[in-house]
Amino acid sequence: MIMRAGNYLLSQQQQNPGSDGDIRTLWIGNLQPWMDEFYIMSIFAQPGAWFQAQSAKVIRNKGYGFIEFANHGVAAWVLQAYNGTQMPSCEQTFRLNWAQSGAGERRQAAGPEYTIFVGNLAPEVSDYVLTQTFKSVYPSVKGAKVVTDRTTGRSKGYGFVRFWDEGEQMRAMTEMIGQYCWTRPMRIAPADNKQPLTVGPGMFYIKNLLALSMFNLVSLALSSGFMQYNRFLSLLSRLLFAAMYQDNQGANPGESDPSNTTILVGAVDVSATDDESKSVFGQCGELGHAEIPPGKSCGFAESSNRASAEHALSRWDGQSDRAHKKGRTANAAPFSGFPTDLVEHILAGVPGRSTANFGHICREWRSILAHPNFKKSFLTRGYSFRRLLLLTFRDNGQRLSFSSPLDSDGKNSLVLSPYRPCPRDLSDRVGCPQEGFITGRVQEAGIAIWNPLTTELVSLPEVELMSGVEAIPFLGYDPTDVQFKVLCIKATQLPYVNVNLSMANQGNMILTLGNGQHLWRSVNSKPHHPLSKGVCIEGTLYYTAGVYSWMKVSMVVCFDIRSEVFRYIDIEEGTSRFMNSSSTLVNYKGKLGALQFTFAYPKRLELWVLEKSETWSTTIYEFPESFGNIVEQTELTIVGMDSRDTDTVLLAPHFLSSPPFYIYYFGLQRCTVTRVEIQGFGKVSHKKVDLRLGYIENLKTLADYGN
């Protein structure tokens, strides 16, 4: 995909020769001491390549050099195609830019630029990964740079991200705090200077100013009506971020600056006269100058020396005066007392992984996050906006999970963000997510429920199993009673073919979650062996089943979660088509659907839909010729389709291969295929992967459900 973008850019340059100036030299950084002109020319002047570097110059012991190309178009293509990719024979990535101020640079520099600092980066994070982590959420991202050691070329663990849009920059400074890039949660800070919001004297008490400013902004927003609301939220995000950055960085440098003799005085009565204010300021020692900005509920007092300033501060700190409104003091929590509905509005837009960080701001915010109403609203918004692609696999005895926005939106790559590992090893039989929860087996007879967002893991009582029998768990959700139930089907296990299936099924169990008791109850069913992970549609759990695990599908089992009653739909014998054991059940426009590959060559996609009369309608879709070869050679599996987008089917390999790892979106209406690269799960290969659609982040615990 990079090649396509580069070729397009080159063709545009050739159509308009000279329109972008004559600059054709690139600056190259990240050079190691052993990298010389021969190394650079071996990369950019390879025999037979359509682009050829004309010359190269390395500045010795400086870590950078210059590459000259035939024209601006070639240089622009190389800049776009190679920048951020890995250099040959080393761990560094290409760091390229225009060598001098020219057309290409002017094009990038047009308009203002807004930058943030990103810390706690893993050593494997490259410029490209950091860029895609932010660009997948914020389209205005211009680029990113991971800072590396000039000698070793290794990452220093931090970098910078540049934006075109200031609003998205401010959103990123709050929304991306604690989000994962590769394997670590990111720290976000301003990049403009090391003393944020130092706009005048007295800013070393920034938290007090923030507290006062927030209340002023709240009043402004409430009095100005809805038209000013978005502007207010933008200003609020700046203040919120500055306070969080203050907590992360420690005391403001102004406190340790011996030349700083200015004090910020908060909670000043805006109706106080100049004489009243000066008399109050004068109570705290010898002051050279005092000023209260018009209409502001704060002021500045300047002492003649540092000692006088500290003396005044010690007397003033935390006290209330005649010229001050009673209420807020210097030590008050900067966010306590903030309007609850406004805080809820802010937190509702924060990604689920970052909510815990906001709980550390103050006790009031933590209580909002824990409130049932907020958890409910967060989940409700997830139905519309936060449906994600969930990927899990086992690595070194741990169940790891990652997620990404579900839709590719035309992008050729998705960067996954990891959750914290599961507290215990969910070995296999990982089911489809229901309302953000996943079921799986801990051991052969152990079943657990896991929430990847909150890392809550609830282990259920072990199920008694006879020899040659395994427990197959299903998680179902009843939206009417707002209740989860776990269905445990006991089925024969290969190679124990002599075990009577009806005897095994006699011990089928069900358990209600959220009532605190977690006791298994018996449930009667027709003898069967589950063959799929199933799907839950409007309180009914569906899964395919057969007589034994190695036989074809003979029925679809329907289990009503609320009434705990089984129903069976037989797959007719002797029909021209049959449902195979690898079929994937889906929610197709509120109906039960099944997706499978046909056996005949070339492979095609077959969609079964269960109609009201409990008869099946089938439709066959043909893959593009070029993609058909990929289906045959790559062992793709059908992940499913999102219930909100029944025109797109997701296909993916069953195992993680060496990078790149691709998934495929197949459009049913036009029979088109879009390939998307998945990044962000690290250097892992040859692992069985479980990929799920429609995952929703849920802050609730299982105790919040049921009676």
504 pLDDT band, cuts 50/70/90, is low
**From the centroid of its chain, how far is CA 501?**
44
pLDDT at 559: 96
Domain with CATH 2.120.10.80 in the chain: 383-704
Over residues 540-559, mean pLDDT: 85
Tell me: pLDDT of 541 over 90.
yes
pLDDT at 144: 87
Over residues 402-450, the pLDDT tens digits come to: 887 766 555 677 777 777 778 777 776 788 888 889 888 887 668 889 8
pLDDT at 558: 95
Over residues 192-229, the pLDDT tens digits come to: 533 333 433 333 334 444 444 444 444 444 444 433 44
| 2-190: CATH architecture | 2-Layer Sandwich (3.30)
User: What mean pLDDT, rounded, does the chain reach?
Assistant: 72
Instruction: Give kind and range of the element (H or E) at residue 511.
Output: strand 509-512
Handedness of CA 272, 276, 280, 285 (dihedral sign): positive
Over residues 380-392, mean pLDDT: 70
pLDDT at 568: 92
- Residue pair 58/65 in contact (Cβ under 8 Å)? The answer is yes
Tell me: pLDDT of 357 over 50.
yes
Over residues 169-185, the pLDDT tens digits come to: 888 888 888 888 877 88
Over residues 521-537, the pLDDT tens digits come to: 999 888 888 988 889 99
pLDDT at 361: 61
State how beta strands 95-98 and 141-148 pair: unpaired
pLDDT at 642: 78
pLDDT at 281: 56
CA atoms within 13 A on the CB side of 21: 14
- Residue pair 284/227 in contact (Cβ under 8 Å)? The answer is no
Tell me: pLDDT of 252 over 50.
no
Dmax (CA) of the chain: 101
pLDDT at 487: 94
Over residues 625-633, mean pLDDT: 75
Over residues 458-492, the pLDDT tens digits come to: 889 888 888 778 889 999 999 888 899 999 998 87
pLDDT at 293: 57
Quote the DSSP letter at residue 495. T
Over residues 67-76, the pLDDT tens digits come to: 988 888 788 8
Tell me: pLDDT of 276 over 70.
no
The Cβ of residue 308 has, within 10 Å, a number of other Cβ atoms equal to 18
Tell me: pLDDT of 699 over 70.
yes
Give CA angle at 318 (317, 319), nearest 5°. Answer: 95
pLDDT at 319: 45
Over residues 109-120, the pLDDT tens digits come to: 445 788 998 998
Tokens of 478: 């009843």
Q: Report the C-alpha gap between 659 and 126 in whole angstroms.
A: 15
As a CATH number, domain 203-316 is 3.30.70.330
pLDDT at 277: 55
Q: Report the C-alpha gap between 78 and 99 in whole angstroms.
A: 13
Quote the DSSP letter at residue 508. -
Q: Report the C-alpha gap between 43 and 45 in whole angstroms.
A: 6
- H-state helical runs in 506-598: none
Give CA angle at 535 (530, 539), nearest 5°. Answer: 115
Tell me: pLDDT of 498 over 80.
no
pLDDT at 349: 65
Quote the DSSP letter at residue 284. G
Q: Is 384 exposed, middle or buried (0-12, 13-18, 19+ CB in 10 A)?
A: exposed
- Residue pair 26/69 in contact (Cβ under 8 Å)? The answer is yes
Q: Report the C-alpha gap between 678 and 658 in whole angstroms.
A: 11
Q: Report the C-alpha gap between 470 and 411 in whole angstroms.
A: 42
Distances (CA, A) of 64 to 60, 80, 133, 183: 8, 18, 27, 30
Tell me: pLDDT of 136 over 50.
yes
pLDDT at 258: 54
CATH number of 383-704, picked from 2.120.10.80, 3.40.50.720, 3.40.30.10, 3.30.70.100: 2.120.10.80
> Comparing 11-25, 143-157, 638-652, which segment has the lowest mean pLDDT?
11-25
pLDDT at 299: 64
Express as a percent the part of the chain with pLDDT over 70. Answer: 64
Residue 429: what residue type? R
Residues 6+ apart with CB under 8 A from 628: 602, 603
Tell me: pLDDT of 104 over 80.
no
Over residues 624-651, mean pLDDT: 80
Residue of 692, 140, 30 whose CA lies nearest to 387: 692
Domain with CATH 3.30.70.330 in the chain: 2-190, 203-316
Residue of 53, 78, 81, 79 whose CA lies nearest to 67: 53
Q: Report the C-alpha gap between 394 and 396 in whole angstroms.
A: 7
Residue of 584, 582, 622 whose CA lies nearest to 602: 622
Residue 533: what residue type? K
Express as a percent the part of the chain with pLDDT over 90. Answer: 11
- What's the residue count for the chain? 707
Pick 513 or 340 by higher pLDDT. 513
Handedness of CA 68, 69, 74, 77 (dihedral sign): negative
Q: What are phi and psi of 501, to 5 degrees?
A: -65, -35
Q: Report the C-alpha gap between 584 and 601 in whole angstroms.
A: 20
Over residues 127-134, mean pLDDT: 84
Pick 193 or 625 by higher pLDDT. 625
Q: In what order do the strands lie in the sheet with 413-415?
A: 413-415, 672-679, 661-667, 645-653, 636-642
Q: Decide: helix, strand or coil at residue 175.
A: helix
